[in-house]
Amino acid sequence: MIKVGIVGGTGYTGVELLRLLAQHPQVELRAITSRSEAGVSVAAMFPSLRGRVALSFVAPQVGNLEDCDIVFFATPNGVAMEQAKILLDAGVRVIDLAADFRIKDPAEWEKWYGMKHAAPELIAEAVYGLPEVNREKIRSARLVANPGCYPTAVQLGLLPLVESGWVDTDHLIADAKSGVSGAGRKADVHTLFSEASDNFKAYGVPGHRHLPEIRQELSIAAGKTIGLTFVPHLTPIIRGIHATLYARVAREADFQALYDERYRAEPFVDVLPFASHPETRSVRAGNMCRIALHRPQGRDTLVVLSVIDNLVKGAAGQAVQNMNILFGFDECAGLTQIPVLP
């Protein structure tokens, strides 16, 4: 058994972590912190966890986090970078679900996130936590930067193509849609029911902060700088990301076989038969990415469809997957839930 702490357990990713960890056979939840809800029982705030999580939220300074084996930061950007070093120095492993350690260039991070980085010395050490790429590095990591939700869907959809060099990597396009839970559990006008329901819109078209993360990691996979146009959209659903990805063929090959082979041993990537149409509801509440390839009219453009649950494979589930790798557990432990339908 390992002792686990969560910083910021009141948001959507925090409660999703609690849902998954409460079912994990090797986990003992020790501390769940919240500045605003200290003293409130977890079950009172999240009745779905009644009978499964007996803890109450505690203030961060009395959370006994240094007694844990691992601490998850399910916090806004800028929090983990202020606290991670203290925990790492105490021998605690850290998984940050925010973006503090994802981008390797501190100046680039500061440009996109609009604040000074408090721990640039830790950026180089942090391992980017996409298991399908960095599994071996994750095993020995102290600090894991859990990928963003859009970056997970886009990267898993495009990785086989950029790794192979069989497409034009200068003009990749990612057209991605997310449910409103991706905006977090806070009161913003654009996520109010009357604003988001019965509506569909693009946002962040000039540049979204997930763009440099996706571009960085796909460039590493390609062995050269890639060109990517990334446009996110807000859809009137609660959970789910659907990424429609476009790449121009540079070399003819069996692309379906490429994907089948690349992900054959991956427990949380499901490559569907050619020309299938994966749906967000097929991954709801599950730690799964489903992918399908299309070749419209047999022309020179490949279309890749990639779907995930933004709160699971796009956040908390992937974080638990990383924890399993860190501690040598079965990678699927605590993550075998079948997606919910309808």
Q: Which residues does the annotation mark as catalytic?
A: 149
Handedness of CA 91, 97, 98, 99 (dihedral sign): positive
Could you give the CA distance from residue 318 to residue 287 in angstroms, rounded to a whole number?
7
| Complete edge-to-edge strand list for the sheet that includes strand 201-202 | 201-202, 228-234, 172-178, 241-248, 301-308, 289-294, 269-271
Could you give the CA distance from residue 181 to residue 158 in angstroms, rounded to a whole number?
24
